[in-house]
Amino acid sequence: MSRCMFRGFHAPSLAWGLLLLAALLLAVPARAAIPIERWTHASGARVYLVASPSIPMLDVQMDFDGGSRRDPAAQAGLASATAGLLSGGVRALGDLPALDENQLSEAWLDLGAQFGAQVSSDRFSVSLRSLTEPDLLERAVALAARQLSAPAWPVRVWQRDRERMLAALKEAENRPGTIASRRFARAVYGDHPYGYQTDAASLNAIEVADMQAFFRRHVVACRAQVVLVGAIDRARATRIVDQLVLAVAPHGCAPLPDMPAVQPLAQAVDERIPFAAAQAQVLIGQPGVARDDPDFFPLFVGNYILGGGGFVSRLTTEVREKRGLSYSVYSYFSPGRHAGAFQIGLTTRPDQAAKAVDVARGVLRRFVEQGPTETEVRAAREFLVNGFALRIDSNRKLLDNVANIAWNGLPLDYLDTWTQRVEQVSAADIRRAFARVLQPDRMVTVVVGAQP
């Protein structure tokens, strides 16, 4: 994951800082309707615009089908490495001189703007944030387009960054949490790309030429989605999209191979890994659902009751409050293009690990068999509905939500109907959905730090 870093003090940066303060004080209010304009660019890119004039700021995000699920198995980490090296500099272009990584960072600093690239399991994303003062925005978009069209791909920077990543991996592999997460992902996902693990061998197998090829294949205009949220109109948005899409249009549009589905577990997996640590790390779970699952809302509301609601969740009540087995315990679904994991996690004393696992499993089993009570469902719905405004109270949050709508093919009125969908979830819906999706007796359990 890569983001531009900024330092120093310049006039645009001062304006940017003052505007950030204004953004905190004048957060975008929730509205009864959030108008999302959608159109298709001539290149095939899908464009989504939310005009938000309350703050003179623009957030842009471009998403591509180039997340870590597209990594070759022997080069796990390729997508993330590619995103990171985008900030390594730009080549000379016409009358514009080349910029190394420091000069590029200074150029963004002088504009008081931000540009970066990030990778998730499914998406390769680039994002731009700028003030909408015409001259500043024009130059920020031009620099972003240049960074996309003419990255320098400096070998020296990659060799340095790879050494840093290798050192960080070596250190992380001595942490029980890292060991637990890796073993859990391997057991849940098997050979599916969601379970690929970046390690020393895969990093050492990545060269700059591999990044260039990955970028040209995946960061292409025809499969792009562009989301803009800020104080601009459609005409201005169209000009911005034209520049950004043109920067990646030459990459072509070769079809990508279909990805396999995440396979359900054939049987329970139980791994107890000795580790000298004050706390044992416990993960329990299985493949869950994809984002387009029709029971998304019952699972979402039900998980709040089970383990997503903090101190009011059943897991916290049974594991922490009644028995003192863990300071914190949680559960969540991570739906993506494919079935992401359902996961319960907690930490506990090594001598209590077996008991904590039994209690957590028991809570889950009863929840799947019996479902929640009507009182729990009413409280969950009320909390989630009342907190909805906080999900869209800034440009950045609104951008994230609209990008998710676009990526997952959700209806344009999704945010307008979100509270209605939550309010419609019943106890029976939750019980049915959990019984369909989860198999408590066929789950992965990983305990790192368990006593022999």
Hey, what domains does the chain have and what are their CATH numbers? 2-251 (3.30.830.10), 269-448 (3.30.830.10)
**pLDDT value of residue 33:** 80
**pLDDT value of residue 18:** 37
For 295, counting Cβ atoms within 10 Å of its Cβ (0-12 exposed, 13-18 middle, 19+ buried), the class is middle
d(CA 280, CA 176): 8
CA 358 vs CA 187, 365, 418: distances in Å: 20, 10, 36
Q: Which of 153, 149, 48 is nearest to 398 (CA)?
A: 48
Pairing of strands 124-131, 269-273: unpaired
**pLDDT value of residue 54:** 87
In contact, 33 and 416? CB cutoff 8 Å: yes
d(CA 105, CA 436): 50
d(CA 121, CA 195): 10
| Residue located via tokens 């034209």 | 242
In contact, 245 and 71? CB cutoff 8 Å: no
d(CA 383, CA 243): 43
In contact, 198 and 166? CB cutoff 8 Å: no
The residue type of 83 is A
Pairing of strands 46-51, 225-230: parallel
Residue 412 CB neighbours (<10 A) = 15
Torsional sign, CA 190, 191, 192, 196: positive
d(CA 366, CA 363): 5
| Residue located via tokens 């050492």 | 204
The residue type of 262 is V
Q: What is the pLDDT of residues 59-100, one digit of tens each?
A: 999 999 999 999 999 999 999 999 999 999 999 988 999 999
**pLDDT value of residue 94:** 87
114's CB contacts (< 8 A; 6+ apart) are 3, 4, 6, 108, 127, 128, 129, 130
**pLDDT value of residue 452:** 65
Helix ranges (H only) for 308-426 are 314-315, 353-370, 374-386, 395-408, 414-423
In contact, 251 and 368? CB cutoff 8 Å: no
Residue 95 CB neighbours (<10 A) = 5
For the chain, residues with pLDDT lower than 70 are 1-32, 452
**pLDDT value of residue 28:** 39
**pLDDT value of residue 168:** 97
What is the pTM assigned to this prediction?
0.90
CA 386 vs CA 208, 309, 343, 383: distances in Å: 49, 14, 26, 5
d(CA 324, CA 264): 33
Q: Please report, rounded to a whole number, the percentage of residues in the chain having pLDDT higher than 70.
A: 93
